């Protein structure tokens, strides 16, 4: 098919993809009234999911089976307090003669409303009721759910259109060389990163916060949403990391991370100066405090990081809601980094153990920033390789990277030492298009990508879904249901390390044979897995979005009362809980997930270019991984919008 015909087909298909979901709205239906016995119990509602049609009347008969709960329905301006024995208070508002808004509560036995908006709307508890209170939610689905149908239809259209577009040969499959030398463009930034004190100064504020958080987590309020450690680490930091730092700056968090810094300073016996050794000691011009050992070669991969990440997420909901658990994790990491730094040279914790570091590495491949040699030819000529072994102006790379050959972001912690140590001024930071490093190089990296994607799925189901049994099973320290917890763990592990990787490897083998079987399945798997990096980044952003849009008010509260001790330093301790346009969340999540699919497929296709030269073989290799990505994306669309 000619390029013009392909373009026309894509445009026509788009019209169909939009028209079909819209036409479903025209199907006739009779309005109904639904009378529902509605119970609230830690940490969910029964029924957790209410499905009605637009125009139906819903009458809830609420009661709480344990403590007082709230009921706040997104998009419907409906708020109630649910007490025991069928008693509830419904909020109502009125405006007085001077235009001032007032509100009060009506004692009621029923909550009635007209389902007059289509889509999915979350109802949530807004009366702090226990550890998992922020995750106590349910769903109202008003059919026909046009936003969801539209998203599903567009995901299909996008996948088919992109495969067609690839076949037109219009996609540039060479890695883009367009990049901007940031240090050249912003001389002030160059002066800053060249300063010896740069890293110390950017870590310092984080270090202060870190110790404040540990103190607050140990001695402050045990209620998660009243404790600054939980709010700042698991809501603000996590969302910032996923939505801004990682996609834009790659591993820039590692530059400012306060956890390994004390260990590094101890090992170097200095905070910012360089201690240069004229005669190298086992390849480096530095002697560190302690044993100066090198990390065992057979552990020089990210399998341990994958395993530790899985251990951590097994207790994810506990970590996110119990300040003391967060403090324990911080202190264990701090002790580990200190211990390791006096045994091994360099950032071995960051490279091989940090549970966060694993996905920071793989996801940073897609980021819009890279640190590279300005001219690799200059590196070839320069025998001393100061960036790697150290120079008088900078420490040898603590991450063991040689900039002259660095072609991916994975294992560069952006510490900026090489920018200082390079006597040729040949290292810089560049801005580049999203998704520029396209080569996974080993199965541990592939597994990391797959695990991250499935963990996003598990977290979405556990934390954002309406299934209280799953929340209770994960919440073992409170529910004490050991058997349910083990069943939950078994489910999580089977999905993340057996089922999805199994399906993925099968898809890669099928892709390999569809592509003609001339290339190895591992090589195909390395490229196909790349598709799930942009998809993963965007589904994590979609997951983090409600955490911030719903819970941002807690940020103001804890800033005024950081230890949860009843202070009101800024006068915002009682900042009202008011989600920020929560009814828009499913639509934004839909757009994010579809954006991830677009970047995943386009960058994935380019990733195949250095492996399979024939265009039609390359497209055949893409078909099955693309369908798998489409299926995964639709799982997320169902959870977020359906």
Give the binding site for ligand SF4 (CB under 6 A): 253-254, 257, 259-260, 349-350, 354, 356-357, 360, 371, 397, 399, 401, 403, 412-418
Q: What is the closest distance, in whole angstroms, from the C-beta atom of residue 284 to ligand SF4 in the complex? A: 12
Tokens representing 581 are: 């346009």
Q: What is the closest distance, in whole angstroms, from the C-beta atom of residue 4 to ligand SF4 in the complex? A: 46
Q: What is the closest distance, in whole angstroms, from the C-beta atom of residue 347 to ligand SF4 in the complex? A: 6
Q: What is the closest distance, in whole angstroms, from the C-beta atom of residue 459 to ligand SF4 in the complex? A: 19
Q: What is the closest distance, in whole angstroms, from the C-beta atom of residue 402 to ligand SF4 in the complex? A: 8
Beta bridge partners of 40: 45, 64
Q: Is the peptide bond before 125 cis (omega within 30 degrees of 0)?
A: no
Q: Residue 386 in contact with residue 422, Cβ under 8 Å?
A: yes
Taking each helix axis from N to C end, the angle separating 443-459 and 521-530, rounded to the nearest 10 degrees, works out to 40
Q: Residue 619 in contact with residue 166, Cβ under 8 Å?
A: yes
Closer residue to ligand SF4, CB minimum distance, 254 or 450: 254
Q: What is the closest distance, in whole angstroms, from the C-beta atom of residue 251 to ligand SF4 in the complex? A: 6
Q: Residue 166 in contact with residue 140, Cβ under 8 Å?
A: no
Q: What is the closest distance, in whole angstroms, from the C-beta atom of residue 406 to ligand SF4 in the complex? A: 6
Rounded to the nearest 5°, which phi and psi values hold at 421?
A: -80, -25
What is the spatial order of strands in the sheet that 369-373 belongs to? Answer: 180-181, 427-431, 369-373
Instruction: Please give the distance of CA 361 from its chain centroid, rounded to a whole number.
Output: 13
Q: Residue 526 in contact with residue 449, Cβ under 8 Å?
A: no
How far apart (Å, rounded) are the C-alpha atoms in residues 105 and 417?
61
Closer residue to ligand SF4, CB minimum distance, 52 or 371: 371
Q: What is the closest distance, in whole angstroms, from the C-beta atom of residue 429 to ligand SF4 in the complex? A: 9
Closer residue to ligand SF4, CB minimum distance, 373 or 461: 373
Q: Residue 405 in contact with residue 376, Cβ under 8 Å?
A: yes
Q: What is the closest distance, in whole angstroms, from the C-beta atom of residue 178 to ligand SF4 in the complex? A: 22
Indicate the DSSP class of residue 281: B
Q: Residue 372 in contact with residue 405, Cβ under 8 Å?
A: no
Closer residue to ligand SF4, CB minimum distance, 245 or 624: 245
Q: What is the closest distance, in whole angstroms, from the C-beta atom of residue 280 to ligand SF4 in the complex? A: 17
Closer residue to ligand SF4, CB minimum distance, 372 or 603: 372
Tokens representing 166 are: 């690839």
Nearest to 361 by CA among 333, 401, 389, 394: 401
What are the DSSP E strand ranges found in 343-487?
A: 369-373, 427-431
Instruction: Please give the distance of CA 254 from its chain centroid, rounded to a whole number.
Output: 16
Q: What is the closest distance, in whole angstroms, from the C-beta atom of residue 314 to ligand SF4 in the complex? A: 19
Q: What is the closest distance, in whole angstroms, from the C-beta atom of residue 466 to ligand SF4 in the complex? A: 33
Taking each helix axis from N to C end, the angle separating 198-219 and 323-341, rounded to the nearest 10 degrees, works out to 140
Burial level of 188, CB count in 10 A (0-12/13-18/19+)? exposed
Radius of gyration of the chain from Cα atoms? 27
* Half-sphere exposure (Cβ direction) of 167: Cα atoms closer than 13 Å: 21
- Return all residues near 515 (Cβ < 8 A) that are at least 6 apart: 524, 612, 617, 618, 620, 621
Indicate the DSSP class of residue 374: S
Closer residue to ligand SF4, CB minimum distance, 429 or 593: 429
- Return all residues near 213 (Cβ < 8 A) that are at least 6 apart: 228, 229, 232, 233, 326, 327, 330
Q: What is the closest distance, in whole angstroms, from the C-beta atom of residue 189 to ligand SF4 in the complex? A: 14
Closer residue to ligand SF4, CB minimum distance, 406 or 541: 406
Instruction: Please give the distance of CA 129 from its chain centroid, rounded to a whole number.
Output: 27
How far apart (Å, rounded) are the C-alpha atoms in residues 43 and 563?
25
User: Coil, helix or strand for 546?
Assistant: helix
Q: What is the closest distance, in whole angstroms, from the C-beta atom of residue 241 to ligand SF4 in the complex? A: 9
């Amino acid at each position: 098919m000619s390029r013009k015909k392909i373009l026309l087909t894509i445009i026509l298909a788009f019209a169909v993809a939009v028209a079909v979901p819209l036409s479903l709205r025209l199907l006739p239906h009779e309005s109904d009234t639904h009378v529902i016995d509605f119970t609230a119990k830690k940490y969910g509602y029964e029924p957790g999911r209410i499905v009605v049609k637009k125009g139906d009347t819903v009458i809830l008969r609420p009661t709480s089976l344990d403590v007082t709960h709230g009921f706040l329905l997104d998009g419907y301006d409906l708020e109630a307090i649910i007490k025991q024995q069928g008693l509830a208070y419904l909020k109502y508002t009125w405006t007085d003669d001077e235009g001032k808004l007032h509100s009060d509560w009506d004692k009621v036995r029923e909550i009635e409303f007209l389902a007059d908006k289509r889509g999915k709307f979350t109802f949530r508890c807004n009366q702090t009721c226990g550890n998992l209170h922020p995750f106590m939610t349910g769903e109202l689905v008003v059919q026909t759910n046009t936003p969801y149908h539209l998203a599903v239809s567009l995901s299909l259209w996008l996948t088919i259109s992109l495969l067609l577009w690839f076949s037109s040969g219009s996609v540039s499959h060479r890695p883009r060389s367009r990049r901007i030398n940031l240090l050249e463009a912003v001389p002030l930034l160059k002066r800053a990163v060249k300063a010896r004190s740069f890293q110390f100064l950017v870590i310092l504020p984080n270090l202060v916060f870190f110790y404040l958080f540990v103190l607050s987590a140990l001695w402050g309020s045990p209620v998660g949403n009243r404790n600054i450690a939980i709010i700042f680490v698991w809501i603000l930091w996590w969302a910032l990391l996923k939505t801004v730092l990682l996609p834009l700056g790659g591993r820039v968090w590692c530059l400012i991370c306060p956890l390994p810094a004390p260990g590094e300073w101890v090992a170097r016996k200095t905070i910012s100066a360089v201690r240069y050794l004229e005669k190298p000691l086992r390849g480096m011009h530095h002697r560190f405090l302690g044993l100066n050992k090198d990390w065992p070669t057979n552990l020089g991969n990210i399998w341990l990081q994958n395993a530790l990440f899985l251990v951590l997420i097994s207790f994810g909901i506990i970590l996110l809601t119990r300040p003391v658990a967060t403090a324990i994790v911080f202190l264990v990491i701090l002790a580990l980094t200190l211990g390791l730094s006096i045994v091994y040279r360099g950032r071995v914790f960051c490279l091989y153990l940090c549970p966060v570091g694993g996905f920071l590495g793989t996801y940073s491949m897609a980021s819009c920033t890279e640190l590279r040699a300005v001219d690799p030819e200059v590196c070839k000529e320069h025998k001393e390789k100061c960036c790697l072994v150290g120079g008088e102006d900078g420490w040898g790379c603590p991450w063991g990277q040689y900039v002259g050959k660095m072609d991916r972001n994975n294992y560069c912690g952006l510490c900026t030492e090489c920018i200082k140590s390079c006597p040729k001024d040949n290292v810089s930071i560049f801005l580049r298009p999203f998704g520029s490093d396209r080569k996974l190089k080993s199965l541990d990296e592939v597994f990391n990508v797959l695990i991250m994607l499935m963990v996003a799925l598990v977290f979405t189901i556990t934390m954002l879904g309406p299934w209280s049994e799953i929340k209770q099973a994960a919440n073992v320290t409170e529910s004490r249901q050991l058997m349910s917890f083990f069943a939950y763990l078994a489910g999580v592990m089977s999905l993340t390390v057996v089922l999805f990787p199994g399906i993925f490897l099968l898809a890669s083998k099928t892709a390999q044979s569809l592509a003609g079987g001339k290339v190895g399945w591992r090589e195909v798997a390395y490229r196909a897995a790349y598709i799930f990096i942009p998809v993963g980044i965007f589904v994590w952003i979609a997951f983090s979005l409600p955490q911030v849009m719903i819970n941002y008010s807690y940020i103001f509260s804890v800033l005024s009362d950081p230890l949860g001790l009843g202070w009101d330093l800024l006068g915002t301790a009682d900042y009202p809980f008011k989600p920020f346009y929560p009814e828009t969340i499913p639509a934004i999540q839909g757009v994010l997930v579809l954006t991830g699919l677009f970047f995943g497929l386009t960058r994935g296709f380019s990733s195949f270019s250095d492996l399979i030269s024939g265009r039609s073989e390359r497209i055949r290799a893409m078909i099955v991984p693309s369908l798998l990505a489409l299926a995964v994306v639709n799982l997320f669309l169902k959870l977020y919008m359906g």
